[in-house]
Amino acid sequence: MLYAILGLGALGFVFGVSLSLASKKFFVKLDPREEAVIKSLPGTNCGACGFPGCSGLARAIIKGDAPANACTSGGTDVIKNVSHIMGVEAVIKEKEVAVIMCKGGKKEAREKFRYIGVNDCKAATLIADGNKSCTYACLGLGTCERVCPYGAIRMDDNHLPVVDEEKCTGCTLCAVNCPKFIIKMIPVSNKIHIRCNSLDKGAVTKKNCTVGCIVCKKCEKVCPLGAITIVNNLAVIDPLKCDNCRKCVPECPTDTIENYFVGETRYASLIEELLEKATVRSATG
């Protein structure tokens, strides 16, 4: 028994010395800039930059494999700090925010069956591609809300996600976790959105959802800059061409197009209501 204990102790001593010598021999000194960059990054490890976490991005920046402004969720301050550490000029990119390209909630979109299961959009798609008649629609189970590390998404009473643009950092976690691909990252300066994701023909979309794009092409015709085109049975806005002129908003017969400018009329039927009220007030003078 004594010899066994002594033997184990000797082996432990030998292994300990070996590990100590190996750690010194193979020690790789960390670039102090890398440590500084890691401290400057938000630390959420969201992966939006395309690298494995903030430490992976910091290593890539130091090696020159990623630019100093590669962190999409850290904001202006992070870009400035990292650029300063790297000794380069800070190139500030416009902030992008998540936009929900579907407004077919429980009230507007038909259901083909009642879903009873795991409260997760990915799980729900495993059963007949989800319970909505429109196979492109938001399932409303809040997966995007739960994966957002910044609390920028909440589910409303109509079972639709609502994005807080102030809190949204553009990390893209909600977009990559949406099984229906209804969340798009759009420059924050673009405030006019066609909130539909359906690629069905207009008649089918109209049958499945009261607020879906029916491909009437009115928005495309009225746009003075050619920023709206019909792609695969869906009107699509090119954010690089759109100047937020708002001319398309009152033309949409299904309220699919929304105006995100705070304090302004949101969609077509609301504009019509305001015009009717104004006409009545004018007539009763």
Q: pLDDT tier at 32 (50, 70, 90 boundaries)?
A: confident
Residue 155: predicted pLDDT: 97
CA angle 170, 171, 175 (to 5 degrees): 90
CATH architecture of 95-187: 2-Layer Sandwich (3.30)
Tell me the C-alpha distance between 55 and 34, whole Å: 8
Q: Are the C-beta atoms of 152 and 169 separated by less than 8 Å?
A: yes
Residue 230: predicted pLDDT: 97
Q: What is the dihedral of CA 175, 251, 247, 269, to 10 degrees?
A: -80
Per-residue pLDDT averaged across 242-260, rounded? Answer: 97
Question: How would you write 34-50 as a 3-class SS string?
Answer: HHHHHHHCCCCCCCCCC
Q: pLDDT tier at 272 (50, 70, 90 boundaries)?
A: confident
Q: Are the C-beta atoms of 121 and 182 separated by less than 8 Å?
A: no
Residue 4: predicted pLDDT: 60
For 14, list phi and psi in degrees, rounded to 5.
-65, -45
Per-residue pLDDT averaged across 19-33, rounded? Answer: 61
Per-residue pLDDT averaged across 184-193, rounded? Answer: 96
Q: Are the C-beta atoms of 107 and 183 separated by less than 8 Å?
A: no
For 115, list phi and psi in degrees, rounded to 5.
-85, 125
87-139 residue pLDDT tens: 899 888 899 999 999 999 999 999 999 999 999 999 999 999 999 999 999 99
Q: pLDDT tier at 27 (50, 70, 90 boundaries)?
A: very low
Residue 127: predicted pLDDT: 94
Q: Where in the chain is the domain with CATH 1.10.15.40?
A: 31-93
Q: Where in the chain is the domain with CATH 3.30.70.20?
A: 95-187, 190-285
pTM: 0.81
pLDDT at 24 over 60: no
Residue 29: predicted pLDDT: 57
Per cent of the chain over pLDDT 70 is 87
Question: Domain 190-285's class?
Answer: alpha beta
Of 86-100, 133-147, 243-257, the least confident: 86-100
pLDDT at 264 over 60: yes
- How far out from the chain centre does Cα 285 lie? 48
CATH architecture of 31-93: Orthogonal Bundle (1.10)
pLDDT at 11 over 70: no
